[in-house]
């Protein structure tokens, strides 16, 4: 993720995070951004009703001691390439992507905003995302798909922001039974790790690995070295041998370089 300097960190959440006072995952994000000195930018591009999203997160962050929050509502490519967006990102200590419809985030891919985020992440910026804002962090973004089968038709993907180039990320994972969808995505792109995040669960990516935090489980699908035989039709099942599956509750660690999980030191869930 970094190529010199002090790399930033990413806190990627599977959606439905606790937003009560003392909210664990958002509290951790606020602390990483600088606590009372944090300057957090809310990217609401994916949101269905951005005004409500901004009001909700501003309320939560104020309770957590953060008074300086700003909205960056990018309605299209012109906004994402603008000086105003770049100026706002230049002074942020943290950037948080809301949930909603991830297809709306495609307009940011490859934009000036995308490049600024990647550069500032290398210099120490903290980036967070929940639900739709989580899946957008990978080089490839899951746009949709459902069903019980592992097949090309079970998942729709598109280019992502590339802030986590090693992984495909899915959200609301256990709650919505999305293992077939993630397996389908990884079968189509076996070089990527599949990361499935339960609700109110996140991964804190720092350097070349991550720690699981929150209330649920993170599922990692690793098809490197697996045998993949693609079916003739998109709706026909894919043959998949030798896939590695890891279930990581809070406190577990994962190393991207070696593709290995481990149990971290005992501490609080958040």
Catalytic residues: 131, 172, 199
Kindly report the backbone phi and psi dihedral angles of residue 2, in degrees, each rounded to the nearest multiple of 5, phi listed first.
-115, 160
Q: Strand 68-72 vs strand 39-43: parallel, antiparallel, or unpaired?
A: parallel
Distance CA 131, CA 177 (A): 15
* 244-249: strand order across its sheet: 167-170, 193-197, 217-222, 244-249
**Phi-psi domain of 175 (left: phi exceeds 0; alpha: psi -120 through 50; beta: other):** alpha
Distance CA 142, CA 183 (A): 12
Query: Is 224:192 a contact under the CB 8 Å cutoff?
Result: no
Please give the structure tokens belonging to residue 30.
Answer: 């606020």
Helix pair angle (112-122, 83-90), 10° resolution: 20
Distance CA 142, CA 182 (A): 9
**Beta-carbon count within 10 A of 3 CB:** 6
Distance CA 194, CA 187 (A): 10
Query: Is 39:94 a contact under the CB 8 Å cutoff?
Result: yes
């Amino acid at each position: 993720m970094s190529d010199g300097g002090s790399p930033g960190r990413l806190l990627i959440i599977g959606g439905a995070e606790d937003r009560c006072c003392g909210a664990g995952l958002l509290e951790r994000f606020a602390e990483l951004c600088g606590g009372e000195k944090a300057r957090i930018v809310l990217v609401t591009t994916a949101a269905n009703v951005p005004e409500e999203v901004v009001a909700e997160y501003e309320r939560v962050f104020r309770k957590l001691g953060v008074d300086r929050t700003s909205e960056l509502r990018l309605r299209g490519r012109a906004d994402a390439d603008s000086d105003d967006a770049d100026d706002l990102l230049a002074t942020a200590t943290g950037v948080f992507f809301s949930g909603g419809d991830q297809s709306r985030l495609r307009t940011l891919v490859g934009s000036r905003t995308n490049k600024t985020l990647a550069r500032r992440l290398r210099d120490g910026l903290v980036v967070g995302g929940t639900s739709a804002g989580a899946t957008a962090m990978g080089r490839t973004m899951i746009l949709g798909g459902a069903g019980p089968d592992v097949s090309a038709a079970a998942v729709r993907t598109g280019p992502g922001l590339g802030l986590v180039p090693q992984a495909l990320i899915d959200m609301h994972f256990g709650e919505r039974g999305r293992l077939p969808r993630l397996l389908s995505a990884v079968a189509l792109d076996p070089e990527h790790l599949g990361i499935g995040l339960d609700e109110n669960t996140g991964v804190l990516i720092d350097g070349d690995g991550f720690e699981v935090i929150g209330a649920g489980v993170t599922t990692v699908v690793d098809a490197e070295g697996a045998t993949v035989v693609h079916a003739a039709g998109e709706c026909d099942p894919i043959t998949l041998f030798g896939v590695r599956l890891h279930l990581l509750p809070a406190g577990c660690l994962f190393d991207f370089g070696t593709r290995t999980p481990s149990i971290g030191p005992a501490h609080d869930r958040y």
